[in-house]
Amino acid sequence: MSTWYKLDLGHDDQAFEPTLRIQQMFMSKFLMCAPGSGRALFSCYDKDKDRLWLYFSPAAADIAVRVYAEPCDPPTALDCIGLLAGEGDALGISTPELAKAA
């Protein structure tokens, strides 16, 4: 099984700039990949705790390691997950289900 990565970016107002930079790094690599690569970058915002986490699919480990993300289990809180960039099917659920969860 491949490893997912998670990065805690803190409170919403703290997370905007780092999220933007990470998304740009991700996209520069993603645009060179063939379709079906499995590269994906997800965000999960917990309203109660005012915390933002980024999840990197196993195929995006090269970016995750560069930003010091930590290995984790695949995201399961589908009520707060959103696709920032890449291929939504990296979660193993269909795109319509992901759209409902977001």
One-letter amino acid identity for 79?
D
Q: Which residues pair with 4 in a beta bridge?
A: 72
Please state the separation of Cα 97 from the chain's center in Å: 17
CA distance 86 to 12: 22
Q: Report pTM.
A: 0.82
pLDDT in tens, 8-64: 998 878 888 998 899 988 888 887 877 778 899 999 988 888 899 999 999 999 999
CA distance 92 to 82: 14
